[in-house]
Amino acid sequence: MAIQQTDRPGGRYQEGRRRSEGNGERLAQGLGWFSLGLGLAQIAAPGGMARLIGVPDDDENQQMMRAVGMREVASGLGILSQRHPEGWAWARVGGDVMDLSLLGGAWASDRTDKERVAAATVAVVGVLALDLLCGRQLSDEGGRGDGHGYMKQARRLSGHGRTQSMEDEQWSGAVHVRKSVTINRPAEELYRFWRDFDNLPRFMTHLEEIRKLNDKRSHWKAKGPVGFTFEWDAEITEDRPNERLAWASVPGSSVHSAGSVNFKKGPGGRGTVVEVEMRVDPPGGAFGAKVAKLFGKEPGQQVTDHLRAFKQIMETGHLTRSDASFGMIKHPASPPSSLPRELQAELQSGSYSSGSYTSGSYGGTAS
């Protein structure tokens, strides 16, 4: 009696599918680096790039070249910052169509080098084909994902995983930051201020806006290097009042991040130790972190400045920028040792509201 053998779900079909998975991500990585390199060249040498594609090296074309370069850099950083950059890949397709439209206008001009314009058009069509292929592959691979990585991340942040530490999290190009500061205020007040996300842009200067979506989820908008902005959704994964708050970006976010803040009694019962731990995949991974550092946006320095600013606001009621700071970034000045009487009375009476802490609303001198 003959028995016919058929492929089961874990057989040849699954093996072939596993081989094909990841092709889109590898192609996206290559396109991301290409986009980043091209964009930096267009920003650094717009005149030379204009001549290369056959258009006049004038002010108008240089401005256009810089704008296209900034778009390319944003696309490159977006692709390199995500494990599944499907949205950024399709954004590149839209950029290619825009480039073809610009080259069509250049072809109709009498002031352009037609041979170079034609060569540039052929090159863009080739890149467009690759971007379309990449977008389709990422869309197919994304449909087979199960969100396992996000769930593991959320469990670790909430303390339900193997360990609460994020040391062993496998993130590509991730930056791990752990900083602490002692603040001369009770944990209850510090937690209450931090838990109201409307307050975070007050001392996290890279944040432009945080919009609450529901009790646990919010939409964040932050400033990045070279004037770019990034937006993502984050979700609270653990909330222990007056003790600990943890969060993580949701799947598909343009910024891959997770973190926690703990509030502990200070040595000898004096003040509260605020410890922040963060894991961030900057746009562009490890390379993006190095680029960000050049513009004063490196995550470790950011967290240090944020904690200093948080300490100053909670101990003085306002944030003062030090005149001694140099460069593009102004750092928080050292807070005075005593708390203003007006703020002290408000905190003791329980009449605190997030709107009370406006810049300069209380007295105090920075030292």
CATH number at residue 122: 1.20.120
- Interacting residues of 280 by C-beta distance below 8 A, sequence separation 6+: 174, 175, 177, 255, 256, 257, 259, 299
- The C-alpha atoms of residue 223 and residue 218 are separated, in whole angstroms, by 17
Residue 146: the pLDDT is 42
Residues 207 and 275 in one domain: yes
Q: For residue 348, what pLDDT band results from cuts at 50, 70 and 90?
A: low
Q: Is residue 123 scored above 90 in pLDDT?
A: yes
Is residue 83 domain-resident?
yes
On whether both 53 and 177 belong to a single domain, the answer is no
Per-residue confidence at 134, pLDDT binned at 50, 70, 90? confident
Give yes or no: residues 46 and 132 share one domain: yes
Helix (H, G, I), strand (E, B) or coil at 235: strand
Q: Residue 273 to residues 158, 187, 191: CA-CA distances in angstroms?
A: 20, 8, 12
Determine the pLDDT at residue 301. 78
Domain boundary among 114, 142, 170: 142
Collect contacts of 319-324 with beta carbons under 8 A, ≥24 apart. Answer: 319/202, 319/203, 319/359, 320/364, 320/366, 322/366
> Do 193 and 333 fall within a single domain?
yes
In a domain, 366, yes or no: no
Residue 296 pLDDT exceeds 80:
no
Q: Please give the angle made by the CA atoms of 7, 8 and 9, to the nearest 5 degrees.
A: 125
More confident residue, 218 or 176: 218
Percentage of the residues of the chain whose pLDDT score is greater than 90: 31
Question: Looking at 142, 162, 189, which one is the last position of a domain?
Answer: 142
Same domain as 205, residue 102? no
Pair (168, 88) in one structural domain: no
Q: Highest mean pLDDT: which of 179-188, 202-211, 229-238, 341-350?
A: 179-188
Q: Is residue 214 domain-shared with residue 310, that is, in the same domain?
A: yes
Instruction: Rank 77-81, 149-153, 269-273, 289-293 by mean pLDDT and report only the highest.
Output: 269-273
Is 6 inside any structural domain?
Answer: no
Of 194, 166, 134, the C-alpha closest to 256 is 166
Q: Are residues 210 and 81 in the same domain?
A: no
**First-last CA distance in the chain:** 93
Q: Which of 40-54, 129-143, 181-195, 303-317 has the lowest mean pLDDT?
A: 129-143
Distance between CA 314 and CA 336 in Å, rounded?
11
**The token pair that represents 157 in the structure block:** 């942040």
Write out the residue range of the structural domain in which residue 296 sits: 151-356
What's the pLDDT tens digit per position in 242-251?
A: 999 999 999 8
Instruction: Report, as an integer, the average pLDDT of 68-75.
Output: 90
What is the pTM for the complete model shown? Answer: 0.49
4-24 pLDDT tens trace: 444 444 444 444 444 445 677
Tell me: pLDDT of 195 over 70: yes
Phi, psi of 276 (to 5 degrees): -115, 130
Distance, CA of 340 to CA of 366 (rounded, Å): 12
SS3 363: coil
- Per-residue pLDDT band for 291 (boundaries 50, 70, 90) equals low
The set of residues, in sequence order, having a beta carbon less than 8 Å from that of 344 and lying 6+ positions away, is none
Residue 27 lies in a domain: yes
The per-residue pLDDT of the chain, averaged, comes to 74
Q: What is the pLDDT of residue 101?
A: 85
User: CA-CA distance, 293 to 327, in Å (whole number)?
Assistant: 13
- The answer to whether residue 364 is domain-embedded is no
Both 34 and 79 in one domain: the answer is yes
Instruction: Please check whether residues 121 and 193 belong to one and the same domain.
Output: no
Averaged pLDDT, 31-38: 91
Looking at the structure of the chain, the number of domains it has is 2
- The verdict on 164 and 118 lying in the same domain is no
**Does residue 126 share a domain with residue 171?**
no
The pLDDT of residue 4 is 42
> Over 50: is that where the pLDDT of 62 sits?
yes
Does 4 map to a domain? no
Looking at residue 266, which CATH number applies to its domain? Answer: 3.30.530.20
